[in-house]
Structure 1
Amino acid sequence: MSKGIKIATIGGGSSYTPELVEGFIKRYESLPIRELWLVDIPEGEEKLNIVGGLAKRMIKEAGLPIKVHLTLDRREALKDADFVTTQFRVGLLEARAKDERIPLKYGVIGQETNGPGGLFKGLRTIPVILDIIKDMEELCPNAWLINFTNPAGMVTEAVLRHSNWRKIVGLCNVPVGIKMGIADQLGVEVERIHVDFAGLNHMVYGLNIYLDGELYTDQYIDHLTSSDGSSGTMRNIADLKWEPDFIKALRAIPCPYHRYYYKTDEMFAEEKKAADTEGTRAEVVKKLEKELFELYKDQALSIKPPQLEQRGGAYYSDAACNLIDSIYNDRKDIQPVNTMNNGAIASIPDESAVEINSVITKDGPKPIAIGDLPVATRGLVQQIKSFERVAAEAAVTGDYQTALLAMTINPLVPSDSVAKEILDEMLVAHKEHLPQFL
């Protein structure tokens, strides 16, 4: 790879791309990118050209010799790539809005990666990811696939179970956000904090917290429960406070998405209220994106605009670029990623995807074994893993009954009859993007 690195970003017209480009610029000394290919589909061509123009201006401003290519030809972009990043949304934000609105009619949370919405995002996304992998097997068999596309855990699970591709890492900004939040709450530099992360994507727990290398879990939980009861959240998740006694009993730090499982009724009420007033998160993001792309069009703009942080994907670029840098340079540092379990969590099958701290090497992540999850967290994690596995199978086979089974075993869906009603309506609503179910 001495000739320089080729990176292909699928979903290159995403509003997040400037953050990724900023991350690559910051790391150019250790990550000498020669070519960055931004790929999109015809419906995303206008956004691709706008974002691509900003990416070129950012690189020019930085004075770096990175060549940016914009294309609708995925195969051209993949040829001889060293890293492939995926950040696409099948059906665009319109599909996300359906995922969020339809379940609400049935008294069920509508959310991008949890419950019925997460199932349908997986059903739309997994066939496309597997198709990309077929191209990669032919055109860049030595490349690493770094997937940010949600639901990242289910997508990684599908690749591990339904393809022969093993050079995949799923990535999420949630663990990074948790760590930054802890440092912020304690008023210390983030480098002084270490968190033992283990679980699944959007169901990861901070099992132990260290400050300056010393175990600090109990002190942090005391701090957390004596202050505002919040372990922080994200722009797309209501900041409902945790019950202090619950957190003390759990003796672990839940992630923001755990609110959907531990505070289901309150979260449903929040989502319903938001949908009825300012709109679902997809509808809010659509307005935000419109403003962002107007900013991106400005020929005088040559940096990532601060308004991008309103979008909700903070720390993605650092997580993604750190991961690529660590694989490329064989850094052997520790990062939380979605990867094959390989015995790291005792109660999850070895071949399944888990989100866990891993040593990042040139041969990919090596998950750090934790033994097993605490009994209080284990059952919910296993239930969601069952959901992910059955959902991935439904995505690959297009089998109606398998999709119904996945919907019903998800803990956010109250019964098989409600599951069937939601499934039937969503299959019709997303028909265009679910050819395997025809």
Structure 2
Amino acid sequence: MDKKFSVVIAGGGSTFTPGIVLMLLENLDKFPIRQIKFYDNLEARQKVIADACEIILKEKAPEIDFVATTDPKTAFSDVDFVMAHIRVGLYAMREKDEKIPLKYGVIGQETCGPGGIAYGMRSIGGVLELIDYMEQYSPDAWMLNYSNPAAIVAEATRKLRPNSKIINICDMPVGIEERMAHAIGLKSRKEMEVRYYGLNHFGWWTDIRDHAGNDLMPQIKEHVAKYGYSLKEELGEHESQHTDPSWMHTFAKAREVYAVDPDTLPNTYLKYYLYSQDEVEHADPEYTRANEVMNGREKHVFGECKKIVQAKTAKDTSLEVDEHASYIVDLARAIAYNTHERMLLIVENNGALSNFEPTAMVEVPCIVGKNGPEPLVQGQIPRFQKGLMEQQVAVEKLVVEAWEEHSYQKLWQALTLSKIIPNARVAKQILDDLIEANRDFWPELR
């Protein structure tokens, strides 16, 4: 383990960046780093985060070189890994993604339905630009991309940059698996070995065992049938102070999602497809998840970063390690050290699901080594899941085609096909409003 790595975090002004830096510092024994760079196209926003992170690095790991820049050549030269989590349009646009559909009685959500489609149309160009910078300045580097909406971004990179060294990942299954493990008394999800299939934010666990081969599904199912993915200590009078109300609702709702197919355990995001009207009724059109984040994490992280800079020390900061982001270190290590770790990743199907579209970007367990991920065959999938997934894959492919061809018609078709939207007329009304809101970000549709 003599080599030390150079990493660029693309999206240096993100509220998640300090947590990722703290996580990287906690894992230096596993993944040694010589240089961390921040790259963002919004200099003032990045500066607040970068100035604080520079102080954190000086205090915790002064040997690591640090650079924050808006210049692509400076950012992407001499790097081994690009860790990308960009948000084109920031939370101001997410708020529109969520509130515009609600005007028409349709749920607006960051990665699902019309909100996810709008965000996807903004994200595609941004992620492709990052790939092009990486290939120009560090052609041997790998991009570990967790920019949302991961499903649409993954399809875009498959179709438009087919030979790029990018792996699309999501930490939502990681978070759910941690809850499963905790619910049945395990210390960590790493004590479990899972079989899972689906699309990003659209999947099911089919088998979960411990390392001795004991079946853990019955215990987990019993918990989910009663509580969803809520943990007992979060319920009743002692509600979690660390979990936003919208997430508490989501974890509890998993109980009803699970009931639709009790042979499997569902990803939480399926609630938006299977119970979309419930989600509309539960939503406050004046105060959506974007507002919750802007008034919560956004204010907290930027406030803490300003405090660190003012105090010239991070000694008493309440910024926390992003535990979920340790998944990124596992992935980087697997590539760097050829560890053949088993991980859930978003990859081209190509037979992993034997009765499903070969070019679909599916989320399945993979073995990861120096040449990237090798998907593990999950076999045939049942008709219920297959039907849902075929509809959703068609949506994702139409969005990417609409972006590439500047096609109004294909984007209207994508929205019409989304299970969340009731009919083509409503799809068109939402689309026309989204076009107006996204004039500065989308290609011009014709």
TM score, norm. by length of structure 1: 0.91
Q: Secondary structure, in 3 states, of the residue corresponding to 2:281? A: helix
In structure 2, distance between residues paired with 1:7 and 1:282: 29
| Unaligned segments of structure 2, at least 5 residues | 235-242
In structure 1, distance between residues paired with 2:365 and 2:257: 27
1:109 to 92, 107, 110: 107
2:435 to 393, 405, 427: 427
Are residue 391 (structure 1) and residue 390 (structure 2) matched? Answer: no
CA RMSD, 1 decimal = 2.3
Are residue 164 (structure 1) and residue 125 (structure 2) matched? Answer: no
In structure 1, distance between residues paired with 2:181 and 2:170: 19
Q: What's the counterpart of residue 26 of structure 1? A: 26
Contact 2:25 2:61 in 1 (8 A): no
Q: What's the counterpart of residue 76 of structure 1? A: 74
Q: What's the counterpart of residue 16 of structure 1? A: 16
Shift of 1:417: 0.8
The letter of the residue matching 1:224 is V
Shift of 1:231: 6.1
Are residue 356 (structure 1) and residue 364 (structure 2) matched? Answer: yes
1:264 to 276, 279, 283: 276
Contact 2:258 2:266 in 1 (8 A): no
In structure 1, distance between residues paired with 2:326 and 2:316: 14
In structure 1, distance between residues paired with 2:378 and 2:341: 17
Q: Secondary structure, in 3 states, of the residue corresponding to 1:90? A: coil
Q: Secondary structure, in 3 states, of the residue corresponding to 1:34? A: strand
The letter of the residue matching 1:147 is N
**Counterparts in 2 of 1:88 and 1:229: CA distance versus 1, 3 Å:** closer
Q: What's the counterpart of residue 336 of structure 2? A: 328
In structure 2, distance between residues paired with 1:385 and 1:315: 30
Deviations 1:201-239 (A, max 9, x none): 1012111121342122234213432x3244679745433
Contact 1:198 1:206 in 2 (8 A): yes
Q: What's the counterpart of residue 240 of structure 2? A: none
Deviations 1:175-222 (A, max 9, x none): 111110111111222233222121111012111121342122234213
Contact 1:335 1:358 in 2 (8 A): yes
In structure 2, distance between residues paired with 1:13 and 1:241: 32
TM score, norm. by length of structure 2: 0.89
| Unaligned segments of structure 1, at least 5 residues | none
The letter of the residue matching 1:222 is E
Shift of 1:32: 2.1
**Counterparts in 2 of 1:116 and 1:80: CA distance versus 1, 3 Å:** same
- Count of residues in correspondence between the two structures: 427
Q: What's the counterpart of residue 204 of structure 2? A: 205
Deviations 1:71-90 (A, max 9, x none): 01123211232111211111
Q: Secondary structure, in 3 states, of the residue corresponding to 1:295? A: helix
The letter of the residue matching 1:350 is P
The letter of the residue matching 2:192 is I
Q: Secondary structure, in 3 states, of the residue corresponding to 2:68? A: strand
2:409 to 397, 401, 423: 401
The letter of the residue matching 1:101 is K
In structure 1, distance between residues paired with 2:154 and 2:268: 21
Greater shift, 341-350 or 355-364, is seen at 341-350
Aligned pairs for 1:171-320 within 5 A: 171-190=169-188, 191-212=190-211, 213-225=213-225, 227-230=226-229, 235=244, 236-237=246-247, 238-239=249-250, 240-242=252-254, 247=259, 249-271=261-283, 273=284, 275-276=285-286, 279-288=287-296, 289-299=298-308, 300=311, 301-302=313-314, 306=318, 315-320=323-328
**Counterparts in 2 of 1:307 and 1:79: CA distance versus 1, 3 Å:** closer
In structure 2, distance between residues paired with 1:78 and 1:186: 44
In structure 1, distance between residues paired with 2:88 and 2:339: 34
Contact 1:19 1:304 in 2 (8 A): no
Shift of 1:27: 2.0
**Counterparts in 2 of 1:215 and 1:38: CA distance versus 1, 3 Å:** same
Are residue 412 (structure 1) and residue 420 (structure 2) matched? Answer: yes
**Counterparts in 2 of 1:329 and 1:242: CA distance versus 1, 3 Å:** closer
Contact 2:106 2:277 in 1 (8 A): no
Contact 1:198 1:204 in 2 (8 A): yes
1:50 to 48, 51, 55: 48
In structure 1, distance between residues paired with 2:65 and 2:315: 17
**Counterparts in 2 of 1:411 and 1:231: CA distance versus 1, 3 Å:** farther
